[in-house]
Structure 1
Amino acid sequence: MNPDLDLTLERVIRAPRAVVWNAWTDPSLLAKWWIPAPALCRVDRLDVRPGGAFVTLMSEDGVEFVPQVNASFLVVDELERIVFTNAIDGDWRPANPAPVPMTAEITLNDHPDGTDYRIIVRHGDPAACARHAELGFADGWGTVTKQLAGVAESRAAR
């Protein structure tokens, strides 16, 4: 972790790792938490494997959906780690994503209360990292992590 280039977030989710993993890898579950509510998410492609596409759309009104993420998975270690980048789009073409290019690493570890969920979002330079922080990294990623926890914890309670 480089504090000049990386932003982090961690949370204990009160659900088993397999449930949290499924919320990341099942398109119908990802759509429930990936974008801060009340905006809606539509998953266009979710091919959770190295080189697979990660493409989502978002809607403020539930009618018109616009591009949200167009990325590629770099590393997928089942039940443990997902790494994706928006610097390469879902068709493996170089991208210049807005607001900033980034690589996100999500790790899942066992915790006595469920899953230790950690995110590191890496940036290419300090300016991109600062811009992402200024645009609300903590609030945005924090909100969707809270929504992920809600989905996973409700499924674990069943």
Structure 2
Amino acid sequence: MTDIDPRLDLTLDRVIRAPRDVVWRAWTDPAQLAQWWVPAPTVARVEKLDVRPGGAFVTSMSDDGSAFVPHTDGVFLVVDDGARIVFSNAIDSSWHPASPEPVAMTAEIVFDEHPDGTEYRVVVRHADPATRDRHEQLGFFDGWGAVTQALAALAESRAA
């Protein structure tokens, strides 16, 4: 994990009571990712999930389960199998510069061993303090907290 700059970065930490490989699969299997990637009752659809450096990460979301709109369109920058995923939406899945709106970011997800399962850490990095603050005001902690809770519930149910 790289250093955290509180002026630019938002973080979330949680212990998930499931083995690291189970949590990793929930992130890297499209069917599992779709179950937790957006806060309920909104549903996600995984369009592309090529979990390798340079691979596409594209999802859409729907409030009614039928009309889907774009959600995530980015690329994976770093994939350390079973340990770390870094992706960004600043470059879209076709490798073109993306619009900075609504919030351009780079997210680092770290999966570490923990006596109770997996230590799960999210660091979302922003270009400047204003963008970081905007992301926080848009509901970073509620949104990422809700999806992390859903990820934990899925992984813990699979580990039981």
TM-score category (smaller protein): over 0.9
Q: Hey, what does 1:124 align to over in structure 2?
A: 127
Residue 118 of structure 1 aligns to a residue whose secondary structure is strand
Distance 1:14 1:56 in 2: 26
Once superposed, which parts of structure 1, at least 4 consecutive aligned residues long, lie more than 3 Å away? none
Equivalence map 1:6-155=2 (5 Å): 6-155=9-158
Tell me, which stretches of 5 or more residues in structure 1 are unaligned?
none
Q: CA deviation at 1:99?
A: 1.5
In the alignment, residue 45 of structure 1 is paired with which amino acid?
Answer: K
TM-score (normalised: structure 2): 0.97
Q: CA deviation at 1:36?
A: 0.2
Q: Alignment identity in percent?
A: 66
Distance 2:54 2:150 in 1: 26
1:4 maps to 2:14:
no
Tell me, which stretches of 5 or more residues in structure 2 are unaligned?
none
Count residues with an aligned counterpart.
157
Distance 1:98 1:67 in 2: 13
Distance 2:84 2:99 in 1: 25
In the alignment, residue 76 of structure 1 is paired with which amino acid?
Answer: V
Q: CA deviation at 1:98?
A: 2.9
TM-score (normalised: structure 1): 0.98
Distance 2:81 2:101 in 1: 29
Distance 1:3 1:90 in 2: 28
C-alpha RMSD over aligned residues: 0.5
Residue 109 of structure 2 aligns to a residue whose secondary structure is strand
Distance 1:92 1:19 in 2: 30
Residue 139 of structure 1 aligns to a residue whose secondary structure is helix
